Chains A and B, each alone.
Chain A
C-alpha cells in the first residue's frame, strides 16, 4: 500500500511569504502529526490531528497552523516566513491518536523549505 506522501518535496520562499505543505497519510490512518527537523536540533513536534481536530500542539508560534480534512489528509501553513523557518518538515501518520504503547509512526520523506 502507498506510504505517507508529502508535497511539495522542495520549495524556496522569501521572508514574509507564506507556505502550505500537504500530507496524505497511509490509507486507514486517522492520526497525522507534523514535525520540524533541523540539523543538530532533532525533531520538534508541531501538532497532531485526529478526526479533523487538533489534539496536541507543540511550542511553536501562531504563524504555524494546520488542519485535517475528512479524508485524513492534512495541511500545514506557515505565514510570514522567517529565515529560521528553513527546515525539513516531516509528516507522520498512525492508526490511532498517540497514546500508551507502541503507536508506531510512519513518516513521509518530508518537504524541505528554504527561506531566503
Chain B
C-alpha cells in the first residue's frame, strides 16, 4: 500500500532550528515534494528532491534518502511566519500521482 508518515504537530522557538521528518512506503518513486500551508491559505511549493542528498534553499533545506524511504525538511533561524503546516508528498513513477502525508503543524513560540 501507499503510506506517508509525518509527525502531527511540532513546537519550536523563534530563532532556533527544526527538522520535520517524512517517511514513506510507496509503490514506485519519482520524487518527493514539500509544501507549506498557512492556516486558511493555499499550499505553496517549497522543495523537490529526486536524488539522494541535501538541497538547500535559503533558510530551508530538504534531504532525501531513497534507500531508507526518508526525507526531512530543515528550517533554520525560525521566524514567527514559519508557523504553518508542512506537507510531504511522494510522486509515484507509475502514474505520476502524488501521495500526500497528513501534514505537520509547526508552532513557533517567541
Which residues on A are within 8 Å of B, measured CB to CB? 3-4, 35, 40-45, 56, 58, 90, 98-110
3 nearest A-B residue pairs (beta carbon) = A107-B42, A43-B100, A102-B48
Give min CB distance, B97 to chain A, whole Å. Answer: 6
A to B CB contacts below 8 Å, 25 in the list: A3-B42, A4-B42, A35-B100, A40-B8, A42-B4, A42-B87, A42-B102, A42-B103, A43-B43, A43-B89, A44-B100, A45-B98, A56-B95, A56-B97, A90-B42, A98-B91, A99-B96, A100-B96, A101-B31, A101-B50, A102-B50, A107-B35, A107-B44, A109-B41, A110-B42
Residue of B44, B91, B96, B101 touching A42 (CB-CB under 8 A):
B101
Give min CB distance, A94 to chain B, whole Å. Answer: 10
Q: Which chain B residues lie closer than 8 Å to A102 at the CB level?
A: 31, 33, 48, 50
Main secondary structure of the interface of A (DSSP, over half): loop
Category for how many chain B residues contact A? 20 to 34
Q: Which residue of B lies closest to A88 (CB)?
A: B40
What does the 1/0 interface line of B59-72 toward A look like (CB < 8 Å)? 00000000000000
Which residues on B are within 8 Å of A, measured CB to CB? 4, 8, 30-31, 33, 35, 40-45, 48, 50, 87, 89, 91, 93, 95-98, 100-103
